[in-house]
Structure 1
Amino acid sequence: MRIFVTGTAGFIGFHLAQRLLRDGHEVMGYDGMTPYYDINLKRARLKILHNYNFTAVEAMLEDQEALESAVGDFTPSVIVHLAAQAGVRYSLENPGAYISANVVGTYNLLEVARALAPRHFLFASTSSVYGGNQRMPFSESDRTDFPVSLYAATKKSGEAMCHSYSHLFKIPTTCFRFFTVYGPWGRPDMALFKFVERILTDTPIEVYGEGKMRRDFTYIDDLVDGIVRLIDCPPEEGKSIGIDGGVIDSVSPVAPWRAVNIAGGQPVGLLEFIETIEKELGRDAEKVLMPMQKGDVRATFADASLLTALTGAAPAGSIDDGVKAFVDWYRQWRDVGQ
């Protein structure tokens, strides 16, 4: 297939594009190369992708003409929208970047999809949309009306816009919700990257929520496998899949639209996660316990039964193996010796 992927210089977009290319698909990547973190890391990812049948366009989501031109020239059958301004904490510092990229940028791409009528449009959302929801594990049928960060609010907005376009223009659309993705080539602003970097340089690490937080960590290869499998599962309006065991399909009654959690449903405590890193590095971290930051939640915990019912699989990678893979990559990237 021809697949248009936004955010291919990013952590998840890079891994997805590489998997699709290895599977023999033709991929066009679209990325604004913003300086939110190290541009050299982004360029190194793209360099690897150029070893395949890959075309890259460097432009912003806010540039409607560039989007229209790229998609019009490529005519993909599938669009995967991963590009976004990410990060809960940064949304406190620069909220305008989230409105611009995540709301305006998503609208622009939906307008392109409206004209193209792809076989499947897939949108990257986040577990953050569950916000103040107290029920766990998080199910796609739970309310997502109480976002506690602007980042979450913009992603909730993206899901809603996708649903309206899906309803109005009959675009089969899947919104997948990510849960704390980690692995090689990860973002420098994420906890695993920061912890490894600081432990190796004997710098104290800040542990928010006094280490009492729990996260449903999802290894990058497991996440990508879920996305690839979902590409072949476009929803049909009002048509729930036949599921036994009480699994609820989130398909819309008025649109070919569905939301799906991609996670293993096995949350791990933050201190346990840090202990795994310490064990892999052979060093103890100096921990500075900090209060909860605004916009954070105490725990994330996914109900992955819908993903399993749709695709026959769910993330199952172990934290030990995932942390080891990241540390091995990090040592190579930073040229840090054993």
Structure 2
Amino acid sequence: MTEPDVRALLSDIETLVCCESPSSDHAAVARSAEVLAGVGRALLGVEPERIVLDGCTHLRWRFGDGPRRVLLLGHHDTVWPAGSLESHPFSVTDGILRGPGCFDMKAGVVMALHAAAALPDRTGLSILVTGDEELGSPSSRGLIEEEARGCEAAFVLEASADGGALKTRRKGVSHYRIEVTGRAAHAGLEPENGVNAGIEVSHQVLAAAALADPERGTSVVPTVISAGTTVNTVPAAASVAVDVRVWDDAEQLRVDRAMRELRPVLENAQVRIHGGINRPPLEASAGLFRLAQELSADLGFGELAEASVGGASDGNYTAGLGVPTLDGLGAVGGGAHADHEHVVVAELPRRTALLTALVENVLTLRGSRERSIP
């Protein structure tokens, strides 16, 4: 198999990176979708569907009239605010590509399109590129699950783990918001008449944090906390956001039940729990990872490593449906969400060729489910 032209890959990555797409800016995400549609049209010869949900623009390509068999999954939104190109311009120097969102994950999106373009037959392939992954996929989750359901493989173009390792295990994620209602009073004249929501939320912070289980890899982290209005008023309201990461379903359910059982400590305080499970844990398909290892060896790319990571992706949703899923097939580099975000240029054509081989291999496994990869 001929490796893709690295110059063409770099040109298309530059096009996407230079169209900023912060997740919370629907107009910017819509502009990015149009730029991405143009790149895909040039490579694949067809227009994508533009799917707008809750103001957010997602793109989908489907090939063939039969059932969907392989899903290529990515996102074109980024965490970088508008104007980031001024301080972090696109560049390629000494084999390293830089620019906001290049590693997470505009390079991966371009790789997916180039891999699909190289296929001799795309029948049964679906490509879905969403626009709100960095927000937790609030509008696209149903779309992702619809597209993945019944597929024989989902390949996720999130960036690789360190050293190019594929991501075969991801923690599940839950998000909560604890809201506390107390009673305001003058902090100097009659504090005893108030119910201090700040003190109550402190009790809730400690109770939530105590649900962590480091031995099982379960983290429960209170993050954004707010309370009070003025320096001389007993706080009448307070809140705290809680981020939960777990390796298995049982732990996710244990923490969820415990969070919902939290009760106020102070008399006359009220506590309400919002949120819940966002993404189930991901256990990647062992069969797909073995196939990737075999194909990498056949292509002369060497041995592939695997990694377990705490961050979640849309691959958690596809794996949660029971669809064989392999994640981390995108760019090799590092610094996601950080000033040193970068992509190793030499790995772009190799990883794209591997992705093409993976998709082609699964698509050519015609026949019964018994022949599908577990």
TM-score by length of 1: 0.33
Q: Which has the larger strand fraction?
A: 2
Q: Larger C-alpha radius of gyration, 1 or 2?
A: 2
Larger relative contact order (CA 8 Å, sep ≥ 6): 2
Q: Which has the larger helix fraction?
A: 1
